[in-house]
Amino acid sequence: MDINIAKDKIFEKGFLDLEVDVHIDLFAEIERLKKEKNIVLLAHYYQEPDIQDVADYIGDSLGLAQKAAQTNADIIVFAGVHFMAETAKILNPSKKVLLPDLKAGCSLADSAPAPLFKVFKEKHPDHLVISYINCSAEIKALSDIICTSGNAEKIIESIPENQPIIFAPDKNLGAYLNKKTGRSMVLWNGACMVHEIFSLEKITKLKIRHPKSKFIAHPECEEALLAVADFIGSTTQLLKYSQENEALEFIVATETGILHKMQQASPNKTFIPAPPNNSCACNDCPHMKLNTLEKLYLCMMYEQPEIKMDENLRLAALKPMERMMEISKKAGLIV
Ligand code: 13P
Ligand code: SF4
C-alpha cells in the first residue's frame, strides 16, 4: 500500500484503518522501523504496558516536552494524546510528528474552547495567564506561560505576588496550587474526567484495610481527595515517591497506566488502583487508551496520521512554552 492510499484510510476514523496480520511480531517490527526511519518513540505513563515497553522514553508531560525539544530523530511518534503531540510539533517544527490515533483527545483540554476562553481572558485584562499544558495550541497561544504538574508551583512562585493570575484549564490543579502558594488565582472551570472519578468513601475503606499503605494522588484529583493524600505529584513524581518511600503498599489515584512502571520499578511492592465511584474501570483514560500496538505499528509504517499546524499559531503557542522551559531550567527542574 502506498502512502496516498494510507492517507485516504485515516480520513474518517482518525487512524489507519488497516488489518494487521496477527503473525507479525509487532515488537520486532516497531524496533526495526525505529532504526530504519530514525524515529524516536515517546510515550506517556498512561499508555498500555506494551506501548510503554517499546518506547524510547516514557515520562510525564514536562519530561516528554523536553525530550521532544531535544531529539535528533527525523520523526517523533507520540504515544499519548493530541495536545502532547501538538506540543512536540510546537517545540520541534522541522520534525514530522505522528500520533497513532488523531482522535486521542483529552477531556481537560476539551473543557477550554479557545473562543470562550478568549472572552474570559478579556474580562480580566490585568491578569497574567498561566495554562496547564493539557490544553490546545489555541489556548497556549492565548497564554503567557505554560506549566505542567511537575513545575506549576515553581512557575507560579516565579511571578511577583502582586501580579493577578488566571489559571486554566484545570480547576482542581488550580485550587491545589492556590492552597500551596497562597495565591488567589482566578480559575477556569475545567477538569479531567479520569481524575474526578475516584471515590473518597472507597479509598477511606481501603486505607482501613491497608493501614500501612500510602495514598498517593495526582493534583488533577478533587480537593477532598487531595486533603487525605500522603503525597501529591505529577506521574514522574508519584513513580519516584513509590520507589523511594519505604512503604510496601500504595493506593494510587491517577490513571492506571502508571501502575505498570511502578510495579516494574518496585517488584516487591503492591500497587492498588484507587477505586472509582462506580463499578466500571473509569480510571482508565479512554483517550490515552485509543492508542494500540497495531495502530502504533501502522503509524510508523505509513507515517500517518501527522500533526500539522498553522505557523502563526505555532509561533504564538511557542512563546509561553519557551517561558516555561526557561523558568524550569532556572529552578533546576530540567537541564
Ligand atoms: P503528568 O504526567 O504531567 O503528571 O500529566 C498527567 C496527565 O493527566 C496527562 O494527561
Ligand atoms: Fe486528559 Fe485526563 Fe486523559 Fe490526561 S487522563 S489525557 S488529563 S482526560
Q: Are the CB atoms for 314 and 137 separated by under 8 Å?
A: yes
Q: Where are the domains of the chain?
A: 7-105+288-304, 108-192+315-330, 198-273
**Ligand 2 pocket residue status of 255, Cβ below 6 Å:** yes
Considering the four listed CATH numbers 3.40.50.2000, 3.40.50.10800, 3.40.50.740, 1.10.760.10, the one that applies to the domain covering 198-273 is 3.40.50.10800
Q: What is the CATH number of domain 108-192+315-330?
A: 3.40.50.10800
CA distance 148 to 60: 9
Going from the Cα of 235 to the center of ligand 1, the distance in angstroms, rounded, reads 6
Give the pTM.
0.96
Is there a common fold for 7-105+288-304 and 108-192+315-330? yes
Q: Are the CB atoms for 78 and 291 separated by under 8 Å?
A: no
Annotation: CATH topology of 7-105+288-304: Rossmann fold (3.40.50)
**Ligand 2 pocket residue status of 288, Cβ below 6 Å:** yes
pLDDT values of the chain reduced to their tens digit, one per residue, 335 residues: 666 667 788 888 999 999 999 999 999 999 999 999 999 999 999 999 999 999 999 999 999 999 999 999 999 999 999 999 999 999 999 999 999 999 999 999 999 999 999 999 999 999 999 999 999 999 999 999 999 999 999 999 999 999 999 999 999 999 999 999 999 999 999 999 999 999 999 999 999 999 999 999 999 999 999 999 999 999 999 999 999 999 999 999 999 999 999 999 999 999 999 999 877 767 899 999 999 999 999 999 999 999 999 999 999 999 999 999 999 999 998 87
Atom of ligand 1 nearest to the CA of 106: 10
Cell numbers at residue 111, please?
473543557
Our mutation pick for probing the ligand 1 site, out of 52, 57, 58, 61, counting the most ligand atoms within 8 A of Cβ, is 61
For the beta sheet containing 214-217, the strands, ordered from the edge strand earlier in sequence to the opposite edge, are: 231-232, 214-217, 249-253, 270-273
Angular region, 282: left φ>0, alpha ψ -120 to 50, beta rest: alpha
At what angle are helices 293-302 and 3-10 packed, to 10 degrees?
140
**Ligand 1 pocket residue status of 87, Cβ below 6 Å:** no
**Ligand 1 pocket residue status of 107, Cβ below 6 Å:** no
